[in-house]
Structures are given as structure tokens and as C-alpha cells.
């Protein structure tokens, strides 16, 4: 059996792809997708804290948001509008980090 997302061969009894994390629907033979069949590699290199978003991007946005909360707010809103559930999850995380960082910055401004 092949993963419909990344096209790699996976065990028949898998409930998800061990390579990309895609949920597997049993009862249907899944063929490799066009993207995987063309030999192109996906953009998912390395471990992903949130499927669909590379680790470096996730960390960079969170670190940037700590210093400039507007980064997390903008990326959060942008990714929340995505149709991809994984990107919505990343957007929600970044939005909350942005809101918390903004409130902490306000606290420091008023305490000074």
C-alpha cells in the first residue's frame, strides 16, 4: 500500500503514514499522488511540530513573536485562513503566542 500524500510504501495495517503523518483510510487502495509520483520531494523536511509547517519556520516565528508580537499576530491570522487543518493549528499557536507576548509587553510598558 502507498501513502496518498507522499507516495511512499507503507505497511498494510497502518492507520497513518510513518513518513508524512497522513491518515490512512482502509478499504481503498491508495496510489501515490501526482506530487509524489513525479519524484518531487515535499517541503516537509525533518520533524514537524505541527504537520505541514517546517520546524525552522515554527521556531523562527515563535522566537520573532517574543520580540515583536505583531509577527505572531500577522502569521497567525494568515495561517488561520488556510484550508489546511495543520496550517490552521500552526496559525492558532502563533496567534496565541502573539497575544500573550503583546500583553506582556503592555505590562512592561505600564510598569515602567
- Residues of 35-72 as b/e, b for ≥16 C-beta within 10 angstroms? ebeeeeeeebeeebebbbbbeebbeebbebbbeebebb
> What global pTM score does this model have?
0.54
Using the structure block, give the residue that is written with the C-alpha cell 502507498: 2
What does the DSSP assignment read for 52-88?
Answer: TB-HHHHHHHHHHHHH-HHHHHHHHHHHHTSS-HHHH
Task: Render pLDDT for 41-78 as a digit per residue (tens, 0 to 9).
Answer: 444 444 545 667 888 888 899 999 989 999 999 999 99
| Average pLDDT of the segment spanning 86-94 | 89
The predicted pLDDT at position 36 comes to 45
Amino acid at each position: 500500500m502507498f501513502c496518498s500524500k507522499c507516495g511512499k510504501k507503507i505497511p498494510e495495517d497502518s492507520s497513518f503514514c510513518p513518513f508524512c503523518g497522513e491518515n490512512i483510510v482502509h478499504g481503498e487502495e491508495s496510489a501515490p499522488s501526482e506530487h509524489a509520483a513525479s519524484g518531487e520531494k515535499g517541503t516537509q523536511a525533518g520533524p514537524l511540530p505541527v504537520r505541514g509547517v517546517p520546524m525552522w519556520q515554527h521556531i523562527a516565528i515563535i522566537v520573532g513573536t517574543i520580540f515583536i508580537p505583531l509577527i505572531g499576530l500577522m502569521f497567525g491570522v494568515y495561517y488561520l485562513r488556510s484550508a489546511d487543518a495543520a496550517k490552521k493549528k500552526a496559525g492558532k499557536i502563533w496567534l496565541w503566542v502573539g497575544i500573550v507576548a503583546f500583553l506582556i509587553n503592555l505590562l512592561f510598558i505600564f510598569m515602567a
